[in-house]
Structure 1
């Protein structure tokens, strides 16, 4: 004899359960807690050694003057070591160069790593779901992982209408790496342009998650079927010679976490561009600024100033897709802020790249690193020449148009205009923070 229980109205029970789940979710989102989405980036234990932090934690950095003697080797010795190591040793060293203020030393010759990324053999490729663009997670000879974002539409060299929509642009992703470095930020993982032959370099080593989206023809043509997150409609892009341009991004060896601010999908000063609302923040608004600085991570001066830096550089680069991401230790404590996802940047729309909105962290708190403003001021007069010299060796050169570089300078000028407003209400000793 079997016993079964019948509910009088299954639809009603489903609605009630959904309502309970929604209430629980809203409680979490509106509480004082902050959500942390953590992803362990190098999961293949055979390829990655145990992580060793080469520098002390945030509250110990300034007091530990012995770091320069006990940290990484001098830059020239490091470069020499890279040039004479096998591939496995090369990637291991390149992935563990981080110091207190960057993923690699200040005067490091980044072309050593960029050239290796652009030329090393691809030994595996698998699909990488999520995010806003179609991409592959590839493994290079020697064990280094990277993300490859192919150029699947004609380069939108001057996106003037709607920012943060459409397909990501690999050349913009690469350009952001060089520009951030020129402005003194060594917090963007290595990005190199690469031309990849789909038939000979990808398909022989591809997982099913990649192969099912590729179709080849006897004349050498290769087509990739893909769907843009914002475009919704699936389409197919074909390459007559089977070669696709793309940006190859170095996969960090350290675990990272995405910091999501309370009541904001990205951070507490930046309203998403997807939501057309604009913050009407005034200049120097202590209550909201104090609230932000009471939040975990931002209660440390270093990481609060990192947040201000991020909003400034997001505006300068015309990037509406910025996220506060940090390398963390095993206890989920931050040890360095990193900057990723610049493929939707370099937007020329003055309507959407709005200084009042994007620079709210600066204008509302009127506090910024002195070194950040100094770097902007020093670099702008020679930015075009410096960027040309830095990016000219990339396989996808030229990366930006003259109009895009002009827009970078214009938006940097808007940062200085915001500083003038702050100088009217706070003393310069408060405005310019000397914290590194």
Structure 2
């Protein structure tokens, strides 16, 4: 009887223990889910200020990267989840703040040499150039004559070959040095030619044409905006028109939606009334999605938040060459489908998750498996950029970038294997003996900061004439990785070693005030929150340091006045 009671007591104890464990696990699960819901409800929290930016970054919780295929299906909630806190940066050179401070001091001490035009004797340079070419031809002719002999001493022939290579190298260095002087002289000549030229704006240029064909547009905000689009920039930061045009991009009703056939990925053209047309790029991947290391730049997906961040960075840098753009939340059905042209409307469908989707027609990611869908239902984030007038209204000039990549998995571009490429192909070309050379180095600096490897062409409005700045279009493949700095983007600056003085001055200010802080402050004006995660902001400061180190290396090699050029911009 006692044994029976003891068994019953043991069974009761075991049952109570199991029930307690089950209750404890259930309670813990409920608490975890509640904590996760609280985290998701804080998606519009502000980013830390400049004092706590790095500290906030160190306190973030660890989370794995989101794979590409999952990223396309992910909800916006993943955008604000924390990043891996102990990531390593690939390809990062040594950064020394003292070197940068010394560079600033050196340039400031030689400011007079930079801004003073020092005429050269171009005839003297031309004679040097001719003599160099004649010497090269004589040497090659003598080599052929020597090689034709049958009874030459082998050892003597090798010594002559080494001497010939040394002579070739010496001549090449001298030629490059003289060519640099000539290019600097042509840039000064260009500056004097256009320094008194007034800015030309699109409104004045198109007034008669619009008055004849569409006079109702003369009283629109769009025409007012064209008054701020000049041969030097595409918006005025201090102008009230910029704020008004951004407001219209954000709030104007959509009258028609069609697809832009150019490009490799889906983009829509929206008519917004008041003469305004906007270029829409939809949400594709979360903010914390990183381009996979095995993916080439030409197969990367375009990101709407990268376009928005690039515009704000362009404004902070003072370039003013990215057309105004803003983030907007759309209803796919009422804003897009109901106003879509027939060809676009045919690509809309309802997904198995009951979300409204469309796939469009393009070269990449325009199939049902990569469709743009509401997140959730009908709601879609997108970037909306004002479209500047196109041909035949305004003529554009599409320039093949001399440092264009091969866009092949097996081939390399010529500049990747020829360290003298800038002297052979760029500085030797009269086409770059003007502001285009320094515009190209500005663009290289901009692309390096945003991590954009997809710069195959340079664009400018040719209707303005030769003194027209490049316009920095199509930045959707930027901000792909924050843990890798692609130094090949800086090749135009590293090989040519030319840099615009006004850009250097601006970078000096941004370095001291911290570029990441200024950009973060600008991004807070966006309706869409957390355009860039903290890791990308931190990477911007790091990349600016790398860029300044590269300019310092160029100054060591060619002197301050031989690198920093004041062309009046």
Q: TM-score normalised to the size of structure 1?
A: 0.72
Cα deviation per residue 1:120-144 (whole Å; 9 max; x = unaligned)? 1111111112312211111111121
Task: Flag structure 1 segments of 5+ consecutive residues without an equivalent.
Answer: 1-56, 74-84, 261-266
Aligned: 1:238 with 2:378: no
User: Which residue in the other structure is 2:559 paired with?
Assistant: 427
Confirm or deny: 8 A CA contact 1:172 1:346 kept in the other structure: yes
User: Which residue in the other structure is 1:307 paired with?
Assistant: 440
Confirm or deny: 8 A CA contact 1:163 1:347 kept in the other structure: no
- Counterparts in 2 of 1:334 and 1:432: CA distance versus 1, 3 Å: closer
Aligned: 1:124 with 2:256: yes
Structure (1 or 2) with the greater helix fraction: 2
Confirm or deny: 8 A CA contact 1:134 1:226 kept in the other structure: yes
Question: Highest Rg: 1 or 2?
Answer: 2
Where 1:429 maps in the other structure, the secondary structure is: coil
Q: Choose 419-428 or 155-164, whichever is displaced more.
A: 155-164
* C-alpha displacement of 1:108: 2.8
- Counterparts in 2 of 1:272 and 1:95: CA distance versus 1, 3 Å: farther
- Counterparts in 2 of 1:119 and 1:222: CA distance versus 1, 3 Å: same
Aligned: 1:247 with 2:378: no
Aligned: 1:256 with 2:396: yes
User: Which residue in the other structure is 1:76 paired with?
Assistant: none
Partner Cα separation in structure 1 for residue 467 and residue 343 of structure 2:
33
- Counterparts in 2 of 1:227 and 1:408: CA distance versus 1, 3 Å: farther
User: Which residue in the other structure is 1:39 paired with?
Assistant: none
Confirm or deny: 8 A CA contact 1:326 1:334 kept in the other structure: no
Confirm or deny: 8 A CA contact 1:137 1:146 kept in the other structure: yes
Confirm or deny: 8 A CA contact 2:515 2:540 kept in the other structure: no
Aligned: 1:199 with 2:333: yes
Where 1:257 maps in the other structure, the secondary structure is: strand
* C-alpha displacement of 1:60: 5.0
Q: TM-score normalised to the size of structure 2?
A: 0.56
Where 1:359 maps in the other structure, the secondary structure is: helix
Confirm or deny: 8 A CA contact 2:194 2:467 kept in the other structure: no
User: Which residue in the other structure is 1:96 paired with?
Assistant: 227
Task: Flag structure 2 segments of 5+ consecutive residues without an equivalent.
Answer: 1-189, 204-215
Confirm or deny: 8 A CA contact 1:150 1:245 kept in the other structure: yes
- Counterparts in 2 of 1:334 and 1:428: CA distance versus 1, 3 Å: closer
Partner Cα separation in structure 2 for residue 425 and residue 72 of structure 1:
42
- Counterparts in 2 of 1:147 and 1:192: CA distance versus 1, 3 Å: same
User: Which residue in the other structure is 1:185 paired with?
Assistant: 319
**When the two structures are aligned, how many residues end up with a matched partner?**
353
Cα deviation per residue 1:221-274 (whole Å; 9 max; x = unaligned)? 3112257745576423432331111111111124322111xxxxxx11343465
**RMSD after superposition:** 3.2
Where 1:335 maps in the other structure, the secondary structure is: coil
Confirm or deny: 8 A CA contact 1:305 1:369 kept in the other structure: yes
Confirm or deny: 8 A CA contact 1:128 1:137 kept in the other structure: yes
Q: Choose 149-158 or 385-394, whichever is displaced more.
A: 149-158
Partner Cα separation in structure 2 for residue 133 and residue 320 of structure 1:
16
User: Which residue in the other structure is 2:481 paired with?
Assistant: 348
* C-alpha displacement of 1:89: 1.6
Confirm or deny: 8 A CA contact 2:360 2:366 kept in the other structure: no
- Counterparts in 2 of 1:197 and 1:293: CA distance versus 1, 3 Å: same
Where 1:141 maps in the other structure, the secondary structure is: coil
Cα deviation per residue 1:347-399 (whole Å; 9 max; x = unaligned)? 22666x421x2111111111110111221221133323322221222222210
- Counterparts in 2 of 1:223 and 1:106: CA distance versus 1, 3 Å: closer
User: Which residue in the other structure is 1:367 paired with?
Assistant: 498
Aligned: 1:415 with 2:550: no
Where 1:337 maps in the other structure, the secondary structure is: coil
